[in-house]
Chains A and B, each alone.
Chain A
């Protein structure tokens, strides 16, 4: 994910200081991992250097002063262009699950057990994601939908792989 672009997106609605951006980022995209505020200010400084954001004031209060940034018109243009550019699809085939299944097959170990065990934990994770999102707002539901769709893709592959392994075993059995 392009972190500078995400920050631009969070900054676009209104000028804000780095700490507010950090809090917003953690809530929407953090998934339990908090961002360092230093990383936010370093990125804001780069955005300023590139003419995509500008310093519009300093808020003082308890603790250190907080520099307030706003998006420039060039920044809005850059953000729109980034949002509308499709992401290249990731090469999912190179997952650990795929590698484990192949290695189990190559080594004569029971690949269907690898698949069956994975199906159980995938389903458990799907249920957990649903539970967490059940009473959540729209954003947490969208986030859950996204993760569930990816888990579902794995599970569909697991079902198909198990079927192919079954076919293969039947063919080998018939050939004997």
Chain B
């Protein structure tokens, strides 16, 4: 078995009296897509945020390439999220005043890639996601499907090691959602990026190579076939 790219071991996090995560371990290999399933309030988004360095767990460790990241400073974790991770939120969260193309190029511009090179890469990726025709449309005026495809492009454009997708098609009709997910998983796999896919829907989880199921903040071993 290859060493995991990203690994959370024995993760726990409480908000006041509420135990959001309790002794959860999960790992991702390069190029692998893992779904985190569970009902609302089961702790799946909290797990994503711990693994992505957004939240710091109370207990346990998060390692990237074997190196702990949960004990790093805010600044270093923020830098990691910018360079090494990509994010696809549920509603795209693009900048509405910018075009889809400008939104997709944004992570590259923040990484100081030149304007021309950034635009070229963003444009190619939008074409691959079959939304190239709408590249110059402002995000605020684009359809939900176009926005979400652009959000996938933005998450992948800087060749991240891990893409975190939190209910990435939750705002779309199921047919459009299927096509967007297919594209996300295919493009990530082609690039060797791992994907952590948070969802409450089995049909979404089935795009992943395997799934883990959370129930009340703990792994449900009975439900998870291949944990």
Q: Which stretch (A65-73, A100-108, A115-123) binds chain B?
A: A115-123
Residue from the list A116, A145, A159, A163 in contact with B202, Cβ < 8 A: A159
B223 touches A119 (CB 8 A): yes
> Which residues from 186 to 225 on chain B have a C-beta closer than 8 Å to any C-beta of chain A?
186, 202-203, 205-209, 211, 220, 222-225
Interface size, chain B (Cβ < 8 Å): 16
Report how far A124 CA is from B210 CA in the complex, Å.
8
Report how far A151 CA is from B207 CA in the complex, Å.
14
How distant is B40 from chain A, measured CB to nearest CB, in Å? 11
> Which residues from 132 to 176 on chain A have a C-beta closer than 8 Å to any C-beta of chain B?
134, 145, 148, 151-152, 155-156, 159, 163
A148 touches B223 (CB 8 A): no
Report how far A130 CA is from B203 CA in the complex, Å.
11
A123 touches B209 (CB 8 A): no
- Take A123-B211, A127-B209 as given contacts and tell me if A152 and B203 are in contact as well, using a CB distance cutoff of 8 Å: yes
A155 touches B223 (CB 8 A): no
Report how far A24 CA is from B224 CA in the complex, Å.
40
Report how far A146 CA is from B142 CA in the complex, Å.
30
B222 touches A130 (CB 8 A): no
A123 touches B225 (CB 8 A): yes
Interface bin, chain A: 20 to 34
- Take A123-B211, A127-B209 as given contacts and tell me if A116 and B223 are in contact as well, using a CB distance cutoff of 8 Å: yes
Neighbouring B residues of A122 by C-beta, 8 Å: 202
B205 touches A123 (CB 8 A): yes
A111 on interface, CB distance cutoff 8 Å:
no
Chain B, 30-62, contact with A by CB distance < 8 Å: what is the 0/1 string?
000000000100000000000000000000000
Report how far A127 CA is from B186 CA in the complex, Å.
14
A130 touches B202 (CB 8 A): no
How distant is B133 from chain A, measured CB to nearest CB, in Å? 21
Neighbouring B residues of A124 by C-beta, 8 Å: 225
How distant is A41 from chain B, measured CB to nearest CB, in Å? 40
A152 touches B207 (CB 8 A): no
B202 touches A152 (CB 8 A): yes
Report how far A152 CA is from B223 CA in the complex, Å.
16
B203 touches A120 (CB 8 A): no
How distant is B31 from chain A, measured CB to nearest CB, in Å? 14
Residue from the list A120, A130, A134, A151 in contact with B223, Cβ < 8 A: A120
A126 touches B222 (CB 8 A): no
B202 touches A123 (CB 8 A): yes
18 pairs, CB–CB < 8 Å, chain A vs chain B:
A119-B202, A120-B223, A120-B224, A121-B225, A122-B202, A123-B202, A123-B225, A124-B225, A126-B203, A127-B206, A130-B206, A134-B186, A145-B178, A151-B203, A151-B206, A155-B202, A156-B202, A159-B202
Q: 20 extra interchain contacts, Cβ-Cβ under 8 A, other than A116-B223, A124-B225?
A: A113-B222, A116-B220, A116-B222, A120-B223, A120-B224, A120-B225, A122-B202, A123-B206, A126-B203, A127-B206, A134-B186, A145-B178, A151-B206, A152-B203, A155-B202, A155-B203, A156-B202, A159-B39, A159-B202, A163-B39
A interface with B by C-beta (< 8 Å): 113, 116, 119-124, 126-127, 130, 134, 145, 148, 151-152, 155-156, 159, 163
